[in-house]
Amino acid sequence: MKLVYTPDLKSCGSNTVWVRFPPAALSRSLRNKSGDWRNWLACLLWEQEVAGSNPVSPTIFMKPKFFKTITGQKIPLPIFFPDATRAVLKTLDSADIENTKTPGILVNTFHLNNFPGTSVIKEHDGIRNFMNWGGGVISDSGGFQVMSLAKTFKTKKSPVSDIGVNFKIPNTNKKILFTPKTSIDFQMVLKTDMVVVLDDFTDLDADLNKQRETVERTILWARECKKLFDKYKIKNKPYLLGVVQGGYNLELRKECTERLVEIGFDGLGYGGWPQNADKTFNYNIPKIIGENCPDNYLLYGLGVGKPHEIVKMVQMGWNIFDCVLPTRDARHKRLYVFNAKTIDDIDLSDDKFYSYYVPDKEIHSHDLSPISTACDCLLCTRYDRSYLHHLFQIGDMTAGRLATIHNLRFYSLLMEKLRPIYGSI
């Protein structure tokens, strides 16, 4: 057993003291005691250690500074990986992505498992060689797509059981059983840097019973995925990420977090989009997850997000993000622009640090200025607003390519500017 603490251990605050992996039975019995069982146990061990009577050697868990790839790279945190769902960022090749200083990408397990499938990826010895991509790669579990597809077919019997998800591939008669093993095995074939466990999605309108059921299944599958993952005895293993479910129920989210930490992962993310009734981002969910896992955990904001949401999450200690927004928006004429005049002047403490540029009016065809003077991308350094407007007007795919390059550089610049903030928390 390890006693883990931060410098203000003496206060024994609930967020500063960690005892990792107590036996499950012990932690269950301690949880029934009044107060936080971690405080109770950590204070006890601390007192014994101070008295010199306990051989427990404390370990300080530090906040991670880097995302390590299985190829040996150390990418400084925080990071934003755009969604290359089917092993491509639409309109860009891998060299284009590199030139935007984007350090990594997210690929989708379900789609790549369907096409090109295991044999082709194996022939390339992983997704990196397939794409000739040298940066980081995260794979998702495929669960979100599987659940969404399965639930579109109205059947009497639920397509989701403890074994996995039964569903029919659209436009075919092919039936598939997608299990924790399907997900882990294929992610290991992809050879990504972070493998995500399969989870049971809590629907936004689920009642308490259904919320509880999805959390229990999420824990069951997380345990199964961990066992399967541990069987891979390979050098340079990827990170393994647990996924916290529980919908809007903060107590359930907390419990799910604690039980996943007991199983033991390299980091946690949340499942289900944390959204308030007015569609704004619900920060209470990432907050409660962050407060209930050890400091050395990677915290992954799956599907986040808008630039101001990322800033707020980084201030809360979250360090990995992915989202379709910059690439999808680019193809729909929506470009992100820092309001500062130069890269040095970008000030993230100002709430209105960015705005959108949408070249859809005639006036834009006469604008000879760059998209943004606070950007050093191909589009901003080589072409003007008038030319981009023209490319969109004639429907040339170069417009989508240049706009995507710009938006990706906006996000990589954003993360560069956030590193000092992350380092100071």
Q: Measured between alpha carbons, how far is 107 from 194 in angstroms, rounded to an integer?
A: 11
Using CB under 5 A as the binding rule, whether residue 337 contacts Zn ion is answered as: no
Q: Pick the stretch among 82-90, 283-291, 296-304, 373-381 that binds Zn ion (CB under 5 A).
A: 373-381
Catalytic residue flag (residue 266): no
Nearest distance from residue 204's CB to Zn ion, in Å? 36
106 within 8 A of 80, measured Cβ to Cβ:
no
Nearest distance from residue 375's CB to Zn ion, in Å? 3
Residue with tokens 């014994």: 48
DSSP assigned state of 166: E
Residue 241 or 377 with smaller CB distance to Zn ion? 377
Residue 39 or 99 with smaller CB distance to Zn ion? 99
Residue 21 or 356 with smaller CB distance to Zn ion? 356
Using CB under 5 A as the binding rule, whether residue 105 contacts Zn ion is answered as: no
Token couple for 63: 């906040």
Nearest distance from residue 335's CB to Zn ion, in Å? 8
Beta strands in 183-297 (DSSP E): 194-196, 239-244, 267-270
169 within 8 A of 176, measured Cβ to Cβ:
yes
Using CB under 5 A as the binding rule, whether residue 330 contacts Zn ion is answered as: no
Residue with tokens 């969404």: 148
Q: Measured between alpha carbons, how far is 61 from 160 in angstroms, rounded to an integer?
A: 37
Nearest distance from residue 349's CB to Zn ion, in Å? 22
Residue 247 or 307 with smaller CB distance to Zn ion? 307
Q: Pick the stretch among 94-102, 153-161, 292-300, 380-388 that binds Zn ion (CB under 5 A).
A: 380-388
Q: Pick the stretch among 79-87, 192-200, 226-234, 375-383 that binds Zn ion (CB under 5 A).
A: 375-383
Nearest distance from residue 260's CB to Zn ion, in Å? 39
Q: Pick the stretch among 152-160, 237-245, 285-293, 378-386 that binds Zn ion (CB under 5 A).
A: 378-386
Nearest distance from residue 400's CB to Zn ion, in Å? 14
Q: Measured between alpha carbons, how far is 385 from 357 in angstroms, rounded to an integer?
A: 10
Beta strands in 101-229 (DSSP E): 104-107, 136-139, 165-168, 175-178, 194-196
Nearest distance from residue 334's CB to Zn ion, in Å? 14
Token couple for 34: 């009044």
Using CB under 5 A as the binding rule, whether residue 401 contacts Zn ion is answered as: no
Residue with tokens 């030319």: 387
Residue 243 or 379 with smaller CB distance to Zn ion? 379
Catalytic residue flag (residue 162): no
Using CB under 5 A as the binding rule, whether residue 391 contacts Zn ion is answered as: no
Residue 197 or 375 with smaller CB distance to Zn ion? 375
DSSP string, 368-400: -S-S-TT--SHHHHH--HHHHHHHHHTT-HHHH
195 within 8 A of 240, measured Cβ to Cβ:
yes
Return the residue of 406, 408, 413, 422 that touches Zn ion, per CB under 5 A.
406
Token couple for 91: 């309109």
Using DSSP, state whether 210 is helix, strand or coil.
Answer: helix
105 within 8 A of 137, measured Cβ to Cβ:
yes
Return the residue of 147, 377, 391, 402 that touches Zn ion, per CB under 5 A.
377
Residue 226 or 409 with smaller CB distance to Zn ion? 409
Judged by CB under 5 A, the number of residues near Zn ion is: 5
Q: Measured between alpha carbons, how far is 239 from 220 in angstroms, rounded to an integer?
A: 19
Using CB under 5 A as the binding rule, whether residue 375 contacts Zn ion is answered as: yes
Using CB under 5 A as the binding rule, whether residue 374 contacts Zn ion is answered as: no
Q: Measured between alpha carbons, how far is 201 from 218 in angstroms, rounded to an integer?
A: 8
Count Cα neighbours of 133 within 13 Å in the Cβ-side half-sphere. 31
89 within 8 A of 97, measured Cβ to Cβ:
yes
Catalytic residue among 140, 199, 200, 266: 140
Residue 39 or 373 with smaller CB distance to Zn ion? 373
Nearest distance from residue 406's CB to Zn ion, in Å? 4
Give the closest residue to 160 by CA, choosing from 173, 177, 184. Answer: 177
357 within 8 A of 339, measured Cβ to Cβ:
no
Catalytic residue among 83, 199, 322, 329: 322
Q: Pick the stretch among 34-42, 216-224, 314-322, 403-411 that binds Zn ion (CB under 5 A).
A: 403-411
Angle at 142 between CA 412 and CA 230, to 5 degrees: 95
Token couple for 384: 């003007």
Using CB under 5 A as the binding rule, whether residue 380 contacts Zn ion is answered as: yes
Q: Pick the stretch among 51-59, 89-97, 161-169, 404-412 that binds Zn ion (CB under 5 A).
A: 404-412
The catalytic site residues sit at 140, 322
Per CB under 5 A, residues contacting Zn ion are 375, 377, 379-380, 406
